[in-house]
Amino acid sequence: MKDLIKNIFKSSEKRKSILFLALFFFTTTVAKAQHLEWQNILNLLKKEANYFQGKEGFIQLGKSDFNLFSIEDITVNDSMISLSFWLSDRFENEQFKQLVKETVLLDSEPTIVSANIFYDYIFYFKNYSELQFLKLELEDKLPLTYHVLTIREDLRTGKQKRGEQEGKTNTIIIPVRAKNRGKIFKAIDAYQRLSTKPQLDYETWH
């Protein structure tokens, strides 16, 4: 009888070990796949960033002291998405121009709540239907660090005034080409299947 109990106990422990190993393997595999899908999104955004270097556009009238913007640099990598642009006045009424550098520090694989084209963004390009802005909304429970650097330059004297501000955000906005947005949304869908969907499946069956 004692031997039987020991065998049952050993069998139970063995099953637990197998289940633990299977769960560990599954979790590791999903995490790796999720990382690869996130990298795919970043790689697609990098291509858009390269295209938009140096591009110029307009600012909706009445929503800023300026009405022109010129993209100086866009950086997309594992740790951040950064956009630098100059603001100026096409009517030459403003005696200043201003450099703005917005940086969002990224988590390893953030939770995407929504992704869409921001049609009413304050910035827009002349070929509006072809060059657009992608807006990613992330989980607001874990906001990302957001840093803004501004350099305001007096066009008459050349003097500059520098300012910095830091806060939290759950929004990322980046320019994209309309012809490539299908690829980007497809990549986001693939990422969501490995991040949001498992949680929803768990909630469905529990």
Domain boundaries defined on the chain: 2-204
Find tokens 């100086």 and name the residue. Answer: 72
- Predicted confidence at residue 31, as pLDDT, reads 62
Q: Is the pLDDT of residue 200 over 70?
A: no
Instruction: Please compute the mean of the pLDDT values over residues 156-178 and round it to a whole number.
Output: 95
- Predicted confidence at residue 194, as pLDDT, reads 85
* pLDDT digits 0-9 by tens, 8-26: 555 555 555 544 444 344 4
- Predicted confidence at residue 22, as pLDDT, reads 40
pTM: 0.80
List 66's β-bridge partners, or say none. none
Between 180 and 64, name the one with better pLDDT: 180
Helix, strand, coil fractions of the chain, as percent rounded to 5: 40, 35, 25
- Predicted confidence at residue 7, as pLDDT, reads 59
Q: Report which listed range, 3-7, 23-27, 50-54, 106-110, is most confident.
A: 50-54
Beta strands in the chain, from DSSP E residues, in sequence order: 56-59, 68-76, 80-88, 96-105, 112-117, 123-124, 131-138, 144-154, 160-169, 171-177
Q: Which amino acid is at 164?
A: E
Check the CA dihedral 121-191-140-53 and report its sign: negative
- DSSP three-state, residue 76: strand
User: Would you say 85 and 97 are in contact if contact means Cβ atoms under 8 Å apart?
Assistant: no
| Averaged pLDDT score across all residues of the chain | 85
- In whole angstroms, how far apart are CA 113 and each of 5, 56, 81, 145? 51, 30, 18, 17
Find tokens 């066009």 and name the residue. Answer: 155
Lowest average pLDDT, out of 5-9, 38-42, 115-119, 183-187, goes to: 5-9
